[in-house]
């Protein structure tokens, strides 16, 4: 079709030359002769032009546009080049959404168990953090303010790994024996140490020895903290036996349990790989308290997930 359009343009040019550029506007247009070599009449040329590809039409339009105005006027309308499409391009289609965007199942933590470690951080806490990292498990640390001040980098490591950090008072007294002012000072000093180390105030507290009364719960609640006790006591501090600690933790834990341990005892740290494997074998998932109980009520006492 390009040949047809080019032939048409050449023909028109020759007509122009023959007619002379001084032909007055409105002069009679000479009848188009047969196109040599093509054998097409002007009617057929018109059809070919309409049928031609966009490229052929573009070539013809360029040739036509180059003609002097009087000549262009002399070209019959039906064989003038089609106007280029001036309609705006349709807007770019929005980026197609992937048809099968994976939708993660909602994490209900239905099978979660909270492993909690009290009284640190101490030197061996780093070994425990190594184990939790290696086994991709999260836990909770109820830390004592004096130990926080001695090991602030360990707290930052807990935070970076996504473990929950809770307040276990500043120096581990029996809170019910203290005045309200004394209870408040223990909580405030420990929270201050944690905040200084990590930049984040704790929202959980655990009273030493699990001893609390209404004043302790109220003091925690007034500071935006919930009280975490436990429903599984491994008595790891009494026996200091890794196998026994593992057996008690795995046998007694059920979905939603809170397990009490102490990371100041090396035998407890030794038990942790066995505990994580054992819980997983039961279909349970070790998790942090923040994962297990996502929106705890301040001042409320939890022994496990309600
Ligand atoms: Zn303790």
Distance from C-alpha of 247 to C-alpha of 142, rounded to nearest angstrom:
22
Catalytic residue among 163, 172, 262, 265: 262
- Average pLDDT on 20-42 reads 41
Taking the centre of ligand 1 as the mean of its atom positions, its distance from the CA of residue 12, in whole angstroms, is 103
For residue range 129-181, what is the model confidence (pLDDT) as tens digits?
999 999 999 999 999 999 999 999 999 999 999 999 999 999 999 999 999 99
Provide the pLDDT confidence category of residue 64 given band limits of 50, 70 and 90: low
* 82-120 residue pLDDT tens: 654 444 455 555 454 555 555 555 667 999 999 999 999
Distance 254 CA to ligand 1 centre (A): 23
Residue 133 annotated in active site: no
Distance 206 CA to ligand 1 centre (A): 8
> What spacing in Å lies between the alpha carbon of 234 and ligand 1's midpoint?
13
- Ligand 1 centroid–CA 208 distance in Å is 4
In the predicted model, is pLDDT for residue 213 greater than 80? yes
The phi and psi torsions of 287 (rounded to 5 degrees) equal -150, 170
CA of 119 from ligand 1 middle (Å) equals 5
> How big is the CA angle at 241 (ends 169 and 249), to the nearest 5 degrees?
70
Cα(130)–Cα(270) distance, integer angstroms: 12
Distance 287 CA to ligand 1 centre (A): 20
Report angle CA 230, 161, 247 to the nearest 5 degrees: 40
Catalytic residue among 118, 189, 236, 270: 118
Q: Which residues contact 221 (CB under 8 A, 6 or more apart)?
A: 298, 299, 300
- The three state secondary structure string of the chain is CHHHHHHHHHHHHHHHHHHCCCCCCCCCCCCCCCCCCCCCCHHHHHHHHHHCCHHHHHHHHHHHHHCCHHHHHHCCHHHCCCCCCCCCCCCCCCCCCCCCCCCCCCCCCCCEEEEEEECCCCCCHHHHHHHHHHCCCCCEEEECHHHHHHCHHHHHHHHHCCCEEEECCCCCCCHHHCCHHHHHHHHHHHHHHHHHHHCCCCCEECCHHHCCCHHHHHHHHHCCCEEECCCEECCHHHHCCHHHHHHHHHHHCCCCCEEEEECCCHHHHHHHHHHHHHHHHCCCEEECHHHHCCCCCCCCEECCCC
- Alpha-carbon 286 to chain mean position: 23
Cα(150) to ligand 1 centroid in Å equals 17
Q: Are strands 226-228 and 204-205 parallel, antiparallel or unpaired?
A: parallel
What gap in Å lies between CA 6 and CA 305, rounded to an integer?
A: 85
pTM: 0.67
118 part of the active site: yes
Query: How many angstroms separate the CA atoms of 80 and 222, rounded?
Result: 87
- Per-residue confidence (pLDDT) for residue 132, from 0 to 100: 98
Average pLDDT over residues 250-255: 98
Provide the pLDDT confidence category of residue 215 given band limits of 50, 70 and 90. Answer: very high
| pLDDT number for residue 66 | 72
Q: How far is the CA of 168 from the centre of ligand 1 (A)?
A: 7
Q: Which residue do the tokens 């807007």 mark?
A: 91
- Which of 69-78, 164-173, 246-255 comes out lowest in average pLDDT? 69-78
């Amino acid at each position: 079709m390009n040949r047809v359009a080019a032939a048409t343009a050449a023909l028109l040019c020759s007509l122009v030359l023959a007619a002379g550029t001084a032909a007055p506007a409105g002069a009679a247009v000479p009848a188009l002769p047969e196109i040599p070599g093509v054998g097409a009449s002007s009617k057929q040329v018109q059809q070919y032009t309409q049928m031609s590809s966009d490229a052929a039409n573009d070539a013809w339009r360029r040739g036509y546009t180059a003609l002097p105005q009087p000549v262009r006027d002399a070209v019959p309308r039906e064989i003038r080049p089609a106007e280029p499409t001036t309609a705006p391009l349709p807007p770019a289609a929005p980026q197609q959404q992937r048809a099968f965007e994976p939708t993660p199942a909602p994490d209900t933590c239905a099978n979660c168990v909270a492993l909690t470690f009290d009284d640190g951080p101490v030197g061996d806490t780093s070994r425990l953090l190594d184990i939790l990292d290696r086994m991709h498990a999260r836990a909770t640390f109820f830390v004592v303010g004096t130990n926080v001040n001695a090991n602030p980098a360990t707290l930052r490591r807990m935070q970076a790994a996504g473990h929950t950090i809770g307040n276990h008072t500043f120096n581990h007294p029996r809170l019910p024996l203290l005045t309200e002012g004394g209870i408040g000072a223990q909580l405030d000093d420990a929270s201050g140490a944690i905040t200084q180390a990590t930049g984040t105030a704790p929202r959980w507290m655990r009273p030493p020895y699990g001893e609390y009364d209404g004043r302790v719960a109220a003091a925690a609640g007034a500071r935006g903290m919930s009280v975490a006790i436990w429903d599984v006591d491994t008595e790891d501090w009494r026996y200091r036996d890794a196998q026994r600690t593992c057996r008690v933790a795995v046998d007694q834990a059920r979905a939603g349990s809170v397990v009490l341990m102490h990371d100041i005892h090396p035998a407890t740290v030794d038990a942790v790989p066995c505990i994580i494997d054992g819980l997983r074998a039961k279909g349970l998932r070790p998790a942090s308290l923040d994962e297990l109980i996502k929106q705890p009520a301040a001042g409320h006492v939890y022994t496990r997930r309600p």
